[in-house]
Amino acid sequence: MQIIPAIDIIDGKCVRLTHGDYSQKKIYNERPLEVAKEFEGAGLQRLHLVDLDGAREGKVKNWKVLEALAGKTSLVVDFGGGIKTEKDVEIVFESGAALATIGSMAVKEKETFLQWLETFGAEKFFLGADVKAEKLTITGWTEQTDIWIYDFIEDYIQKGIKQIFCTDVAKDGALEGPSTDLYKNIIQKFPKLNFIASGGVSSIDDVYALQDIGCTGVIIGKAIYEGRVALSDLKKLNR
């Protein structure tokens, strides 16, 4: 299983939100590079980097943090938050990201996103689906859609997307356990998909449970920062 630690950035600092609420912000480290080096030192190979300033303002803001982390570690970084234009995509790749993480744009600006797939290649994008009761939510979870998660995944698999992660908004940052039933249903419907779970992990047992149902990876944030999951335990699982 691929272990993907998460770093969320506000004002250049490593933070975590609860349920995506900016008013429920907790600063964990003012130097994200220190955190990234800890992950690298534990033998992890990936990093999920989220520009929360960019997500809120609608344009990439913390590209210098990306540049530092990608340039000074060996981590394979996916970067999301505020990617709205082709220029934003270019900035992200030029700053060292291996993958651009896209969520709402794949719903709200589908034609634009499809053009990016053509221009840069579908393998360069990490598609995120935020879900509430199996329907997509977008724009920082402020808009509920009628789009069924399974239809969304089917559509983009046909467009060449290889990696998809799914976050149950009711679980994210709450340390209440992941949505294993939802993920099990997705994996059963799309057994060849490189499917990555996100949100709710509260213990190493949660990680094993996700591995057991067939998730190829898991994004973990707050559980690491709160000491619920030890990096040494994750190293044993990572591949």
pLDDT digits (tens, 9 = 90+) for 49-62: 999 999 889 999 99
Catalytic residue at 8?
yes
Q: How far apart are CA 11 and CA 14, in angstroms?
A: 9
Q: Which residues of the chain have pLDDT under 70?
A: 19, 140-141, 171-174, 239
pLDDT the model gives residue 203: 94
Compute how many other C-beta atoms are within 10 angstroms of the C-beta atom of residue 113. Answer: 22
205 part of the active site: no
Q: How many domains does the chain have?
A: 1
Residue 114: φ, ψ to 5° = -60, -35
Strand ranges (E), 45-201:
46-51, 76-80, 99-102, 125-132, 135-138, 143-148, 163-168, 194-198
CA 75 to chain centre: 15
Q: Catalytic residue among 78, 130, 172, 206, which?
A: 130
CATH number of the domain that residue 151 is part of: 3.20.20.70
The model carries a pTM of: 0.94
**Best CA proximity match to 217, nearest among 47, 93, 83:** 47
